[in-house]
Structure 1
Amino acid sequence: MNENESLTVTLTLENDEELECDVLTIFETDGRQYIALLPLNDEGDSDDGQIYLYRLTDNGEGEEPGLENILDDDEFERVSEAFNDWMEAQDFGDIDLDDME
């Protein structure tokens, strides 16, 4: 992968719709790994600037990591704050955060 290519993930939503997302970053907070995803439209662009945050789970050696919704409000607040700190360090400015429940 060259530096101009982005890493993407395809989410399958509750209604079985698939949503392609750019991986913005994988980061750690409170000893757990999290991932920040930017949903893309059919043209491969982001329309609304929403970011989805998920907890990464280890599915075993050689397996792709899994994604879990962050259901605890306190945990989501800590993860959002850590992600915002990362965004400020990247000089992206403020982007609306939303979780997919």
Structure 2
Amino acid sequence: MAEKKELYGYEEDDILTLEFDDGEEEECGILGVFDALGKEYIALNPLGTEDVYLYGYKEYEEDYELIDIADEDEFAKVVKEFEQLAVEEA
């Protein structure tokens, strides 16, 4: 019998698996997609943690792309926007 995966309150459709350059994988719940600085970003929560990963986000007809935020200034602004949105939802 297959072992049931712990979803930590997420629906199965709201979980994606990140694959890192070193081959490691991590399942994350999608907290949401939001606009900041004229672009779209996605907030991900590694299952079983309180961490949040932020990436640039582009959606295509049948796929999507996560984009590393390499610029420190851009990242700081995105974090600030995400934190503001999180407070508004609480």
If the length of structure 2 is used for normalisation, what is the TM-score?
Answer: 0.80
Pick aligned residue for 1:15 from 22, 29, 35: 22
Q: Which has the higher contact order (CA 8 A, sep 6+)?
A: 1
Q: Deviation per CA, 1:19-61, whole angstroms, max 9, x where unpaired?
A: 1000001000111000000001xxxxx23x1100000124x4x
Q: 2: distance between equivalents of 1:64 and 1:82?
A: 25
Pick aligned residue for 1:25 from 28, 32, 39: 32
Structure 1: runs of 5+ lacking an equivalent: 41-45, 92-101
Q: 2: distance between equivalents of 1:24 and 1:57?
A: 16
Q: 1: distance between equivalents of 2:42 and 2:19?
A: 16
Structure 1: which 4+ aligned runs deviate by more than 3 Å?
Answer: none
Superposition RMSD in Å: 1.5
| Corresponding residue of 1:82 | 81
Give the count of matched residue pairs: 80
Higher helix share: 2
Q: 2: distance between equivalents of 1:75 and 1:19?
A: 24
| Corresponding residue of 1:97 | none
| Corresponding residue of 2:53 | 52
- Aligned-pair distance for 1:79? 0.4
